Structure 1
């Protein structure tokens, strides 16, 4: 199997995913979320439902463009480097923003997705489902960030993991609120502004508890 063949296959996968996302969004706008069934989305591409579920767990995930982003050592190291000198909250929130990926990215479907989320706020719940699916990856990645933070670097590994498991839900809640605000404002914020707002919210939640 050649590198060229692998490249063609990956391009085909990306093309199919993009077509499914576009069809899901278009149908949800045209016929309503309830009527935009997986079968209807597949017929519009066209692909089989089996192919659809190779890419997405649900039609809601296709509408949002939700996908699990691998959080390998290289990606965690990149987050550490990019946010070196910033707070642990900032690094963990950057991690969560990377995990959310296209669901909050500025894509060509951005405005249509914002319209649908405003009509159906429950769509944002798919972010929580995504974070649950990625739970072990997120804990491992957050533990690495905790271990690299000067405040926690000398702690036992088990304690660092416990801190990661405590801080993740806090940061996840901050991201969720920031995303809700972002949608209410029309979704015109840059993702970096969204991250900064989430950090601000997390800090506001922590400071009175000290």
Structure 2
């Protein structure tokens, strides 16, 4: 047997279990609504225990949407440098981290569920906030290691500078998402994001 087979088998089994739980949750919410969709009901429909459910999803809303906690891959920071187009780099990082929360599932169905059930949109916003916080913390470390940024800006420390940068870097993302009518982050193309960044930079120069 190929040495990678056991690992591949485990990965395939995990993916199948994840999909089963997500599909069960999405189907139940269509049938019963969010209030009638419980973790126990989802687990039973998926053929797993509630304990197994929580090995894959933190909340029933995550299972319904097919989302997970966002993550920041350290590899994304390898070429990061405060010297050039800092806002653009942070915006691209925000997009990558936000996308990491979208684990799979039917995007059109997700959009429909988000429109129908505001509490799902609230949960998605919570995950977006987690993504922003991951980027903010990483940015604090990166700026603190750079002599030009380590002392902050005037009376504002590096943490405040990082928080402001994350908020500013989110503007092109929000613009691109609203213009393209996508579910946030998941369906946004690089071209749409780069076009929004180009407009952002042009406005920066015009307003300077």
TM-score (norm 1): 0.69
Partner of 1:96: 94
Distance 2:62 2:18 in 1: 11
> Is residue 26 of structure 2 the alignment partner of residue 33 of structure 1?
no
**How many residues were matched structurally?**
199
Distance 2:116 2:204 in 1: 32
> Is residue 50 of structure 2 the alignment partner of residue 52 of structure 1?
no
| Unaligned stretches of 5+ residues in structure 1 | none
> Is residue 3 of structure 2 the alignment partner of residue 6 of structure 1?
no
SS at match of 1:33: helix
Distance 1:53 1:188 in 2: 23
Partner of 2:111: 114
What is the deviation of 1:70?
3.2
Higher relative contact order (CA 8 A, sep 6+): 1
| Unaligned stretches of 5+ residues in structure 2 | 153-157
Bigger proportion of residues as helix: 1
Partner of 1:155: 148
Distance 2:102 2:205 in 1: 27
Q: Which of these two proteins has the greater Rg computed from alpha carbons?
A: 2
What is the deviation of 1:145?
6.4
What is the deviation of 1:189?
5.6
Contact (CA 8 Å) 2:94, 2:131: kept in 1 or not?
A: no
- Deviations, residues 71-109 of structure 1 (Å, cap 9, x unaligned): 23212236x49xx96x3333222222222226568x551
RMSD: 3.9
TM-score (norm 2): 0.70
Distance 1:123 1:180 in 2: 18
Pairing 1:117-128 to 2, within 5 Å after superposition: 117-128=114-125
Contact (CA 8 Å) 2:21, 2:53: kept in 1 or not?
A: yes
